Amino acid sequence: MSKYVVISGSTRNNSESSKVARQVIKCLKESDQEQEAELVDLSSAKIPNWSETFWEEEAPSAEWTVVSNQLKECLAVVIVAPEWNGMVPPELMNIFLLASKNEFAHKPAMIVGVSSGVGGTYPVAQLRNFGAKNTRLVYMPDHVIVKDVCNVFNEDKAVSEDDKYLRERLLYSTRMLKVYADAFVAIRDSGVYDRASFPYGM
């Protein structure tokens, strides 16, 4: 089992979000050396777009099945969300539509907003407000916003104060995520969660 899944929400090849996701994985490995972290990169993962026929399919696409199983088996998620025109990319939101089989249920998640400028807050707000009601994903109170992303995480070591701070902040946040991941096991194992009776949030 991979304890963590990191989702890079950009569909661009060699994207800055992928770079940030790789930095997150480095921090996760440093924070929890006993567990693995897997990358789901939307620039290469050929996940189908949701349509109403998805719920009618007996066998979902092979591509989605792979990602679905990764999410089911993990204990925590990191979502790296670039800000495109003030929003989360539709391909990233598509995952929340497809994840209807408890992939995210009662698992902690950390949001990392990404901007090439001084933005990055809107993806955080959008994810916190949408996508968790029926999936039961639980966002950590803390999130990370990577501004001016083109100028950080480009070298093995920090080359500026901003670069240094963001590396330290990511490491701290991944350490917190480990604590949440360990604690949430008891919630899922409690037997209280009743998806059959209450499949939808309010």
| Domain housing 170 | 6-188
The pLDDT value given to residue 2: 65
Give the pair of three-digit tokens for residue 56.
């009618």
Per the domain annotation, does 193 fall within a domain? no
Q: In a 3-state reduction of DSSP, which class is residue 32?
A: coil
CA distances from residue 92 to 16, 43, 95, 153 in whole angstroms, order as listed: 15, 11, 6, 22
The pLDDT value given to residue 97: 95
Per the domain annotation, does 174 fall within a domain? yes
> What does the pLDDT look like over 1-29, one tens digit per residue?
569 999 999 999 999 999 999 999 999 99
The pLDDT value given to residue 68: 96
Per the domain annotation, does 196 fall within a domain? no
Q: Please, are residues 100 and 137 in contact by the beta-carbon 8 Å criterion? A: no
Per the domain annotation, does 63 fall within a domain? yes
Distance separating alpha carbons of residues 202 and 200, to the nearest angstrom: 7
Give the residue among 117, 32, 162 at the shortest CA–CA distance from 24. Answer: 32
The pLDDT value given to residue 120: 97
The pLDDT value given to residue 56: 77
The predicted model scores a pTM of 0.94
Per the domain annotation, does 200 fall within a domain? no
Positions of the chain with pLDDT lower than 70, given as ranges: 1-2, 59
Per the domain annotation, does 113 fall within a domain? yes
Per the domain annotation, does 55 fall within a domain? yes
Per the domain annotation, does 201 fall within a domain? no
| Domain CATH for 161 | 3.40.50.360
Q: Please, are residues 7 and 109 in contact by the beta-carbon 8 Å criterion? A: no
The number of domains in the chain is 1
DSSP string for residues in 82-134: E-BTTB--HHHHHHHHH--SSSSTT-EEEEEEE-SSS--HHHHHHHHHSS-TT
CA distances from residue 22 to 8, 51, 87, 97 in whole angstroms, order as listed: 9, 31, 22, 25
